[in-house]
């Protein structure tokens, strides 16, 4: 019997799998191997919501956990995917500079917003008002993390690639059974696919479709992540990731010309150099209207759990949320009410 059967191997599923393994628990993962938001995510981690100048709750604690957690996976896989990378906010006016300095005095933001203006000349970008620098930022190559971790699971015979059939999940007094697999607990980490899950489909997971571009721009010398009307993330070899759009009605993972044109128009406001579009991706972020994760245990099935709704902050939140859910299951610790699924209603 395995301790945890985990459905889904995006960021949330990997985070819980690794947390369980680090505590000497046994796991088995089932994944349909379809496109998910982790594969198309920007991968940037930034403790500040720059549009509203608010800090992520418990940001410093989460960032400390992030470094240790991803570092342990890098050591296990012998592959580096977590990179420290400055994030610069491009100022469009003196007023934006003033807003930045005012925000830097807010409680919770002081550790993250540098008060020294950055005046760096990057070929391909004009920034007469300079930049503001966000501290403790970086980039996780989520595509490679998912691919490498799933390859490791497969090598260890801990991964089954198939669409999960909810009808075949049996609940017994002391264990769960799925086909030939028996487990103490099941963790659903399905992202937007949760809407097909009969245990949790009534939870208000909204979903925001995001699209991004990969461009080749030899004339752009940017070596930091840039936050402007779009984000620009350097990938090396003159390649850059550009994003992202938000669409609250289209729940498909099909790239659209409308989003592509939106990104191109926004790029015109930032770049002064030529570029070539080499790829266009789309995915649906698992978001919740109150912007909080969905963590918890089913009200009628104590061995059925969920970790979802990490949204655009999945890279930062995944290690912390996995640890919180694990401790809830193993030690009976209470979940913070703001992330507990019981904040909505009893899930039946």
- The model carries a pTM of 0.92
Gap between the Cα atoms of 29 and 188, Å rounded: 10
Which stretches of the chain drop beneath a pLDDT of 50?
348
CATH class of 2-49+142-205+289-343: alpha beta
In the prediction, which pLDDT does 207 show? Answer: 85
- What is the distance between the alpha carbons of residues 209 and 253, in angstroms, rounded to a whole number? 7
pLDDT at 298: 96
Per-residue pLDDT at 40: 66
pLDDT digits (tens, 9 = 90+) for 291-338: 899 999 999 999 999 999 998 889 999 999 999 999 999 999 999 999
* Separation between Cα atoms, residue 161 and residue 311, nearest integer Å: 24
- 229 closest CA partner among 273, 275, 266: 266
Encode pLDDT of 11-31 as tens digits: 999 999 999 999 999 999 999
- Residues 28, 181: contact at Cβ < 8 Å? yes
What pLDDT score was predicted for residue 348?
47
The predicted pLDDT at position 4 comes to: 98
Taking the domains of the chain in order of start, what are their residue ranges? Answer: 2-49+142-205+289-343, 86-136+208-285
Q: Which residues of 84-107 are buried (b: 16+ CB within 10 A; e: fewer)?
A: ebbbbbbbeeeeebeebeebbeee
- Rounded Cα distance between 334 and 328, Å, is 6
Looking at the domain that runs over 86-136+208-285, which CATH code has it been given? 3.30.9.10
H helices of the chain, in order, are: 11-22, 37-40, 59-77, 94-103, 142-155, 257-268, 314-331
């Amino acid at each position: 019997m395995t301790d945890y059967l985990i459905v889904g191997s995006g960021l949330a599923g990997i985070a819980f799998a690794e947390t369980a393994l680090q505590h000497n628990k046994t796991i088995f993962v089932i994944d349909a191997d379809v496109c998910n938001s982790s594969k198309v995510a920007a991968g940037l981690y930034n403790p500040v919501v720059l549009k509203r100048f608010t800090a992520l709750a418990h940001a410093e604690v989460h960032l400390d956990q992030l470094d240790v957690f991803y570092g342990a996976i890098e050591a296990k896989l012998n592959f580096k995917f977590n990179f420290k990378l400055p994030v610069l906010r491009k100022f469009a006016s003196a007023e934006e500079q003033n807003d930045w300095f005012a925000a830097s005095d807010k409680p919770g933001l002081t550790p993250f917003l540098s008060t020294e203006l950055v005046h760096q000349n990057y070929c391909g970008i004009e920034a007469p008002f300079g930049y503001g620098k966000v501290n403790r930022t970086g980039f996780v190559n989520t595509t490679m993390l998912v691919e490498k971790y799933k390859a490791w699971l497969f090598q260890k015979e801990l991964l089954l690639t198939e669409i999960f059939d909810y009808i075949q999940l049996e609940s017994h007094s002391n264990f769960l059974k799925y086909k030939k697999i028996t487990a103490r607990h099941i963790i659903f980490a399905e992202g937007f696919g949760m809407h097909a899950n009969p245990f949790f489909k009534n939870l208000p997971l909204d979903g925001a479709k995001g699209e991004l571009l990969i461009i080749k721009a030899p004339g752009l010398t940017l070596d930091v992540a840039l936050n402007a009307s779009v984000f620009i993330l350097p990938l090396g070899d003159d390649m850059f990731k550009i994003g992202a759009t938000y669409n609250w009605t289209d729940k498909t993972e099909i790239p659209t010309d409308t989003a592509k044109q939106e990104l191109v128009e926004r790029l015109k406001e930032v770049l002064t150099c030529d570029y070539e579009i080499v790829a266009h991706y789309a995915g649906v972020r698992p978001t919740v209207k109150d912007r909080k994760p969905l963590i918890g245990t089913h009200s009628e099935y104590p061995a059925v759990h969920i970790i979802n709704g990490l949204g655009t902050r999945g890279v930062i939140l995944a290690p912390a949320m996995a640890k919180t859910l694990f401790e809830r299951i193993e030690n009976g610790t209470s979940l913070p009410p703001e992330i507990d699924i019981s904040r909505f209603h009893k899930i039946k």
